[in-house]
Amino acid sequence: MKRRAFMQNSLLAGASVLTAGIAKAANNTKTGIAEKPFNLNYGIHDGMFRNHAGNDFIDQIKFAYDMGFRSIEDNGYTGRTPEQQKKIGETLTKLGMTMGVFVVNKGGNGANTLAAGKAEYIDIFLKGCKQAVELSKIANAKWVTVVPGDFARNLTMGVQTANVIEALRRGVEILEPAGVIMVLEPLSDTPDLFLRYSDQTYEICKAVKSPSCKILFDMYHMQKNEGNIINNINSAWDEIAYFQIGDNPGRNEPTTGEMNYKNIFKHIYNKGYRGVLGMEHGNSIKGKEGEVALIKAYRESDAFL
């Protein structure tokens, strides 16, 4: 019983220290003092710190900066008003933060899969690429997410793969001159999706042969689809341009599932990656308590040096 009481008191003390640190950092916003940045560059998303900073994404970005985060990602960026897009860009520039991925508008989905090879679907994708180039200038963005869409099951796998490669080659003709990189994301959401595995994505990137066609290695999805995360990162390393995070099961912050993110982060760091790792996951606990727990989890998982 004495040991149990000691452990409970220790956990409560740790939470109190972290909460006090958050309050201090929040108060430091006016003075420009921020918490120590993390070893790796984790990117928050809209809503992640709503309970501490409010509903305005700009305020959440500022709060995240005070907590030591130095990047964001914004899947819904293309749907924001021009005024919102501009304000996000200005805030990131002022704070010296990085814009991570946003999603190419209708870049490929169940309704207009690139695997089908249909001209009207490719036109939608190319229009999205042109829009992405213009939007990238506003927030100094470098990466845009592309998902080729669902299988076209009336076609053989080889033909579908060739259709995707051909569409992506046309996309990079738009993106590459602007220095924008499409990052292909294999997903686990449904077995209907054409792109599901890291080696499949690697093969496609090699075929496209462009610095503007690389892999978005979402570790949550890849844990579900194939596991063996560190070895598969090694195998696809030269084509990976971006990472996303989420523990499994649950798709929440590190330390809440089966994945040893401290070791994974250390491995990625030691291989020389210094780009953005998008925090594309939920909070395991609701409210301010959950946001405190999230920051604590990242501090623990990032303490690999």
pLDDT tens sequence across 103-159: 998 766 778 899 999 999 999 999 999 999 999 999 999 999 999 999 999 999 999
The structure tokens listed for 98 are 């990085």
pLDDT tens for residues 154-168?
999 999 999 999 999
Helix (H) / strand (E) containing 23: helix 2-27
pLDDT at position 32 is 40
Share of the chain above pLDDT 90, in %: 86
Question: How would residue 4 be classed by pLDDT, with cut points 50, 70 and 90?
Answer: very low
* Residue keyed to tokens 């914004």: 74
Interatomic CA distance for residues 115 and 106, integer angstroms: 14
Phi, psi of 103 (to 5 degrees): -95, 130
The whole-number average pLDDT for the span 11-17 is 49
Least confident range from 7-21, 30-44, 169-183, 225-239: namely 7-21
Label residues 266-299 b or e (16+ Cβ within 10 Å = b).
bbbeeeebebbbbbbbbbbeeeeebbbbbbbbbb
- DSSP assignment, residue 247? B
pTM of the predicted protein model: 0.90
The whole-number average pLDDT for the span 283-301 is 97
Contacts of 40 (CB under 8 A, 6+ apart): 265, 268, 269, 273, 274, 277, 302
* Choice between 282 and 23, residue whose per-residue pLDDT is larger: 282
pLDDT tens for residues 71-108?
999 999 999 999 999 999 999 999 999 999 999 987 66
The whole-number average pLDDT for the span 30-52 is 85
Contacts of 72 (CB under 8 A, 6+ apart): 43, 44, 45, 61, 64, 88, 92, 97, 98, 99, 100
Residue type, 239: E
Interatomic CA distance for residues 118 and 97, integer angstroms: 39
Contacts of 170 (CB under 8 A, 6+ apart): 122, 126
The whole-number average pLDDT for the span 243-265 is 98
Task: Write down how long the chain is.
Answer: 305
Residue 154 CB-half CA count within 13 A = 4
Label residues 144-156 b or e (16+ Cβ within 10 Å = b).
bbbbbbbbbeeee
Fold of 34-301: TIM Barrel (3.20.20)
Interatomic CA distance for residues 140 and 101, integer angstroms: 11
Residue type, 147: V
SS3 183: strand
